[in-house]
Chain A
Amino acid sequence: MAACTTEEVARPTMSTLSRREFTVFATSAAVAPFAARRLSAASISVQDAIDRIKKQIGVEWKSETVDGLKAGDPAMAVTGIVTTSIATLAVLQQAVKAGANLVVTAHPTFYSRGDARTPPAGRGGGAAASDAVFTAKDAFVTKNNVAIFRVSDHWRLRQPNPAAQSIATAMGWTKASNNDVTRFEIPAVSLDALASDVKKRLNVRGGIRIIGDPQLRVQRVGLLPGSTPLAAALKLLPEVDAIVAGEVREWESVEYARDQVTEKQKKALILVGRIVSEEAGMAACATWLKTFVPEVAVRHIAAGDPYWRPA
């Protein structure tokens, strides 16, 4: 993460801090940014941070949404914020180690859309209480007082689309067609070279899968981060050479792309996986949070590509 600027560190004014506190604050800030923020933590609670997110997000907050607080006490003082595509246990461990206690995630933490912290009884051949992974993750969250806030439905409604814009930025693409950040004109490149470049720049491991002729020349690229239905590919693929997507169903957009290729329509589909496709956007989310949560340090921790492939 970037080092704290003087301005950020100095934000709690001398009048709000005793001389002794200020000395500790200033000294520790240089070596442990998150820990330093603890002294000023009283200035922002988890609920304050959430309220500011809702106010700044730019779209009306829905009554029915997967977004919201999944764990943690809303009244707790925030010591630092970590954004991520998915709050895996590894990400939570790194966040806690860095002194952060609010994790902002794009995907569920407890393995389902419902995000319940215990598994439903009767599934998986065992009673709910016996699940070691659920138990360990829940215990880690409780013991370390981690608050987890999911922002997904509302994040993707922002304009321009933050996940698409962030992928383009990571790829070095700047020529959006008609200011639409889901469509870019890029210097002509073979599909093979483009796929390798996407893999490298978006930090994909085994999650990348391609449909199309490796020698295809690609100049118009469409972006479909996250999970998208057939309708999205039906609309976009005829207008571009290749789509870079997160997750699509294999009986929908994958088959559609395959049939386009069969028909020599010079099309391609690059799948990078849903979690990876939203990671660059969550890095941008950290930058965005910094603009209106100046009291604490905000950083992004990548969950990484879940998949690998045997050599």
Chain B
Amino acid sequence: MITAGEVIERIKKNLGVPWRDTTYRDTFKFGGPETVVTGIATTVFCSFDLVRRASAAGLNMIIPHEATYWSDRDDVAMVSGDALYKTKVDFMRERNIVVFRIHDHMHAQRPDFTYVGLARELGLTQYETAPGSHRFVVPDTTLGALAAQMTKQSGARALRVVGDPNAKVSRIQLGVGYASPPIHNAEVDVVVSGEQQEADGGLDSPAYVLDAATLGMAKGWIMLGHAISEEPGMHEMAQWIKGFVPEVPVQLVRAGEPFWAPK
């Protein structure tokens, strides 16, 4: 028998970086340390559908990378009046679910599993210039061909691309989640990332790629979507936890891409 609290203690012990208690992200979002764990599901988003599937599979501890209650701070006060919040919480209570988010410490860990998993999923691993550089030089291709290949590799239905499909590219910088590498780095042809603010951000903007394309420069941006970009690494996370939590099954249960696209 193992409790959720014991699982978390083992995670903290094996992390390789000090645990920061100041994190508001990496905390219990439902249930508590005393909950007895029957199995662990790692996932990118603690979506309701995911919770139902994990529970049906006998996994009552969920370790999501992202939020449970639709905001980064999991601000319960903001949503507690919403009928959907009550339904979700009632379900989790009935099924004895415990949710502990791991975000900040996953990105602080080395290697950062989100990058490892995404590179693996996209078939990029062998092309990384140096471990942890998140920089890949692939055989010469076009932005269009690269985007088509990544669509196939990831199974994405609603991936988005900015730039000239015919642009000749080979140097890729990988980003995950909401952390996009600088698009204006002259050493980078294509940024492949998760989610990006479309305008009014700090600096990086899809408009930069539009203008680069107008100038005939080889520049591209492949936006996979937040879930697509960070879900694969939750498999690495599951494998890692399995190594020090042998008592219960541990596996990735995909929240999956939320979108579809019309023809």
Contact = CB atoms under 8 A, between A and B. Distances in A.
Interface of A: 66, 86, 88-90, 93, 107-108, 111-113, 119-120, 123-126, 130-134, 136-137, 192, 195-196, 199, 206-211, 214, 227, 230-231, 234, 238, 246-247, 249-260, 262-263, 265, 271, 273-275, 303, 306-311
Given A238-B82, A310-B161, A227 B184 contact: no
Interface residues of B, number: 66
A125 B184 CA distance: 9
Q: Give the one of B158, B201, B212, B223 with max A CB within 10 A.
A: B158
A255 B78 contact: no
A38 B263 CA distance: 46
B211 A88 contact: yes
Contacts of B198: 227, 246-247, 273-275, 306
A275 B83 CA distance: 32
Contacts of B182: 123-125
A113 to B, nearest CB: 4
Given A249-B195, A255-B45, A196 B214 contact: no
A131 B197 CA distance: 21
B97 interface: no
B86 to A, nearest CB: 11
Contacts of B108: none
Given A209-B259, A250-B227, A308-B165, A93 B199 contact: no
Given A234-B78, A249-B195, A259-B47, A125 B261 contact: no
Interface of B: 45, 47-49, 52, 66-67, 70-72, 78-79, 82-84, 87-88, 144, 147-148, 151, 158-162, 165, 178, 182-187, 194-195, 197-212, 214-215, 217, 219, 223, 225-227, 258-263
Given A210-B262, A238-B82, A132 B200 contact: no
Contacts of B161: 206, 307-310
Given A210-B262, A250-B227, A262-B47, A113 B200 contact: yes
**Interface centre among B48, B83, B187, by most A CB within 10 Å?**
B48
B206 A307 contact: yes
29 contacts: A88-B210, A111-B184, A111-B205, A113-B202, A124-B183, A124-B186, A126-B185, A126-B187, A131-B186, A132-B212, A132-B215, A132-B217, A137-B211, A195-B262, A206-B261, A227-B198, A246-B198, A249-B195, A251-B71, A255-B67, A256-B70, A258-B45, A259-B48, A260-B84, A263-B48, A274-B199, A306-B198, A310-B147, A310-B148
A133 B162 contact: no
Contact of A133 (B48, B79, B197, B208): B208
Contacts of A227: 197-200
A125 B187 contact: yes
Q: Give the one of B70, B71, B147, B259 with max A CB within 10 A.
A: B70
B215 A136 contact: yes
B205 A258 contact: no
B210 A90 contact: yes
Nearest to B181: A124
A259 to B, nearest CB: 4
A255 B160 CA distance: 19
Nearest to B164: A308
B226 A307 contact: no
Given A89-B211, A89-B215, A231-B78, A275 B199 contact: yes
Contacts of A131: 184, 186
B201 A306 contact: no
Given A209-B261, A252-B71, A263-B84, 16 more contacts: A89-B211, A108-B200, A111-B208, A125-B185, A131-B184, A133-B215, A195-B262, A209-B160, A214-B260, A227-B200, A251-B70, A259-B48, A259-B70, A275-B199, A309-B151, A311-B148
B211 A230 contact: no
Nearest to A197: B262
Contacts of B186: 124-126, 130-132
Contacts of A251: 45, 66-67, 70-72, 178, 226
A197 to B, nearest CB: 9
Given A199-B262, A251-B67, A234 B207 contact: no
A9 to B, nearest CB: 33
B214 A88 contact: yes
Contacts of B226: 250-251, 254
Contacts of B52: 262
Nearest to A308: B161
A2 B184 CA distance: 38
B159 A259 contact: no
